[in-house]
């Protein structure tokens, strides 16, 4: 199995992967965008997916990516943040930086956001939360004070049209930043009369003006919700009381009526109106459910292993449950799938290249 890059090691779909942050940067007179290859994909119907962009060597590994309306944005530690048309084309630098890593990356229809992490002479991280329009206007700074948030081992930054939500490393509290005026709301606002479920929040989903979070303390797991405009927060139901599996549950997605959670063995959905739970999928004995996970109006898309845990597959199942449908079993997927994003017709997947030596983003048809 190849040695994965930083973000890949944190986002692997099997337990036991660990992170070793690089200790130094590198420099080059060659534009960093030259370290990637992208070809316009005219035929997207390959059953196993086709590559949109790939790194040409391990020093340009793709760490994280985010999907906008027209572009894929991706980061490469010690190189910068880049964009490419989402079905292939010219690779352009959003910010070229040979002295930084990227802690998080997100995009909406108008802007791309990233956490730039540089290091001082003592190796202490110096963090900025940056923003740039998708037409590559000026770079602006959203946070540059006590910003201590984010590492990519979990979904710690989400954005929609109105807010960017981050989760701070030191106390675990989510913070919503208004994209209109930059005002911030910490959730929960201080003081709060409920337990500290949000500070322990292991995962969260931004759903309009509501932020849902799932967290565990010991053997007890629960849901909470907060309002990103006011900071008001409330504790929801105990997941154990809803017969939800408690093996590292992750709140992964939301639609109009349900929240979707996974643990290593199940996909669940919870009805927002009364928190009634339904099992969407149960992995067979010896298999696992992996973390890359998206939901559209028809199906749940996620990664699972075949029985025995040796072969990763990108799969879909109807939101009401049913037969598992395999979308891709490219041989290199067995080495790990790091991220999945979607538009109406396609899944975009960050995974190793076919030779297993670097990273690529694939387009996989949903049907």
List pLDDT tens digits, range 103-162: 889 999 999 999 998 988 988 888 889 999 999 999 999 888 656 554 444 446 899 999
pTM of the model: 0.86
Mean pLDDT of the chain: 80
Strand 220-227's sheet: what is its strand order? 201-207, 210-217, 220-227, 233-238
pLDDT at residue 27 tops 60 = no
Structure tokens at 31: 């534009």
Region 179-196 average pLDDT: 69
Q: What pLDDT shows up at residue 113?
A: 96
Region 175-179 average pLDDT: 91
- Say which residue, 363 or 172, is predicted with more confidence: 363
Find the angle CA(36)-CA(42)-CA(44) to the nearest 5 degrees.
90
List pLDDT tens digits, range 266-323: 899 999 988 888 999 998 888 888 878 899 999 999 988 866 666 788 899 999 999 9
257 and 273 in contact (C-beta within 8 Å)? Answer: yes
pLDDT at residue 229 tops 80 = yes
pLDDT at residue 21 tops 50 = no
Q: What pLDDT shows up at residue 191?
A: 42
Cα 218 to Cα 363: distance, rounded to the nearest angstrom: 39
Strand 92-96's sheet: what is its strand order? 64-67, 71-76, 80-85, 92-96
Q: What pLDDT shows up at residue 200?
A: 53
Beta bridge partners of 238: 222
136 and 92 in contact (C-beta within 8 Å)? Answer: yes
Helix (H, G, I), strand (E, B) or coil at 168: strand
262 and 288 in contact (C-beta within 8 Å)? Answer: no
Which residue, 357, 354, 359, 355, is CA-closest to 46? 354
- Say which residue, 182 or 169, is predicted with more confidence: 182
Percent of the chain at pLDDT exceeding 70? 76
5 and 13 in contact (C-beta within 8 Å)? Answer: no
Distances (CA, A) of 138 to 63, 93, 107: 24, 13, 16
What band does 25 get if pLDDT is binned at 50, 70 and 90? Answer: very low
What residues contact residue 256 under an 8 Å CB cut-off, 6+ apart? none
Q: What pLDDT shows up at residue 348?
A: 94
Cα 280 to Cα 60: distance, rounded to the nearest angstrom: 38
Interior/surface letters 206-243, b for 16+ CB within 10 angstroms, e for the rest: bbeeebbbbbbeeeebbbbbbbbeebebeebbebeebe
């Amino acid at each position: 199995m190849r040695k994965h890059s930083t973000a890949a090691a944190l986002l692997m779909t099997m337990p036991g992967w660990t992170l070793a942050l690089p200790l130094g940067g590198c420099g080059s007179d060659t534009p960093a965008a030259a370290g990637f290859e992208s070809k316009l994909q005219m035929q997207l119907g390959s059953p196993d997916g086709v590559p949109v962009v790939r790194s040409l060597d391990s020093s340009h590994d793709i760490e994280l990516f985010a999907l906008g309306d027209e572009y894929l944005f991706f980061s490469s530690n010690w190189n910068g943040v880049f964009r490419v048309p989402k079905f292939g084309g010219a690779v352009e630098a959003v910010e070229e930086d040979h002295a930084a890593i990227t802690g998080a990356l997100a995009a909406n229809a108008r802007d791309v956001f990233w956490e730039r992490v540089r290091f001082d002479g003592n190796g202490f991280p110096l963090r900025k939360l940056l923003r740039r329009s998708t037409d590559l206007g000026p770079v602006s700074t959203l946070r540059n004070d006590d910003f201590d948030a984010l590492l990519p081992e979990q979904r710690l930054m989400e954005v929609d049209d109105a807010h960017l939500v981050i989760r701070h490393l030191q106390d675990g509290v989510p913070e919503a930043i208004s994209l209109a005026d930059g005002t911030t709301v910490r959730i929960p606002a201080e003081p709060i009369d409920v337990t500290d479920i949000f500070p322990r929040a292991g995962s969260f989903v931004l759903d309009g003006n509501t932020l849902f979070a799932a967290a565990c303390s010991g053997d007890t797991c629960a849901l909470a919700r907060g309002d990103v405009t006011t900071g008001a927060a409330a504790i929801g139901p105990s997941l154990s009381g809803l017969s939800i599996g408690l093996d590292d549950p992750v709140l992964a997605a939301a639609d109009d009526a349900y929240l979707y959670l996974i643990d290593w063995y199940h996909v669940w959905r919870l009805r927002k109106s009364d928190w009634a739970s339904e099992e969407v999928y149960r992995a067979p004995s010896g298999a696992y459910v992996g973390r890359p996970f998206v939901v559209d109006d028809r199906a749940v898309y996620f990664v699972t292993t075949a029985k025995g845990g040796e072969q990763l597959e990108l799969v879909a199942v109807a939101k009401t449950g049913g037969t598992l449908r395999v979308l891709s079993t490219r041989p290199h997927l067995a080495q790990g799938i790091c991220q999945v994003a979607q538009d109406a017709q396609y899944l975009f997947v960050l995974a190793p290249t076919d030779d297993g030596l670097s990273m690529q983003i694939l387009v996989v048809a949903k049907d």
